[in-house]
Amino acid sequence: MSYLKAARQLPKKLLNQFPEEVSALSNGSPFLDVRSPIEYAKGKIPNSINLPILEDAERESVGKAYKQHGKKIAVEMGHNLVSGQVKLSRIQAWKNYVTQHPNVNLICWRGGLRSKIAQDWLAQSNVQVARITGGFKALRNCLIAILDAIALDNRTVYVIGGKTGSQKTVVIKRLNNSIDLEDLAQHRGSAFGAYIQKQPTPITFENELAVKLLTHQQQHIVLEDESKTIGRLAIPDALFKKMKIAPIALVKVPIEERVNHIYNEYVKEPSQAGASSEFLSQHYLQALDRIERRLGGDRHSKLTRIIKDAFSERAEIDHQDWITALLEDYYDPMYDYQIKQKESRIKFIGSPDEVTEYLKNLR
């Protein structure tokens, strides 16, 4: 997406405040982040790679020197720590990346000393690289402003509703006017929806979502109907307020198809990817424990027994038993109650294919 296209859908105040950042983010420029690994792990910019100028222990030592002796001593220590072969290897790693990504932007925390030193070292090797003057902090502030700006956005938000296992995510992935919140959050949204891998940090999730909103070129933004939180991550307030009043396209699927879809996604596919039966059993038993109070002791005990038996015997029918019981005893009654509160917003009801076509042809 070009800067000009992005500019048409953003408030002028935001464009005036973050022209450099909006340009880099909307044009899809990669970012070479020279912060330490621990800083990068707390939150990163989409399309970035971490090739630090200081490793974690080195940064900690320099930080202590700065507090105790001031900037001059700290800078000298940094140059001593990153010298000789260590310096050459880090410059070479940057050069290798820049060769493959010539439109890269250098960033550190505030676009200050570390990225400027990296830029200078590369220039000494006849490699010219652009630098975001405000660094990660400026990019982050820009992305927060984009998330807030959705409240004033003239694009219409639609949400896809439907009972658990109704293939809502399948519909999302078929559309070019959708944003897959669960994919960004690495979580399916329910008590049983945790992926095997960990969720991103809140900062990384928000940054990814903001870039998706910035570069979304359609008049309608289609999202899956979610609660405020997806796992441990929260949907930003401005977007969630729009979702709460958005028209709904409701997917309806027979329970047998829903059970089979859940079995494939939650049991068969993870098993084929290498997850052991013991791991999956513990993973879902822990999820079951999180909803014990809502299930009640008897149903919780019954489902615990069925899940243990299913994974120990590896019998597909047994998996269908616990999935069906969980839908009928927990998810479906809860969804029936929730959808009654939203009936006035339902604009279309159909199969996954029918809902896909409806949302593709929005006017």
Residue positions annotated with a catalytic role: 108
Side-chain-side CA neighbours of 256 within 13 Å: the count stands at 0
Both tokens of 121, joined, read 């070292």
Alpha-carbon torsion angle 86, 90, 92, 95, nearest 10? -160
Question: Exposed, middle or buried, 203 (CB in 10 Å: 0-12/13-18/19+)?
Answer: middle
In degrees and rounded to multiples of 5, residue 224 shows phi and psi of -80, 140
Distance CA 284, CA 304 (A): 9
Distance CA 45, CA 111 (A): 14
Q: Which residue has the tokens 């997850």?
A: 275
Distance CA 157, CA 173 (A): 16
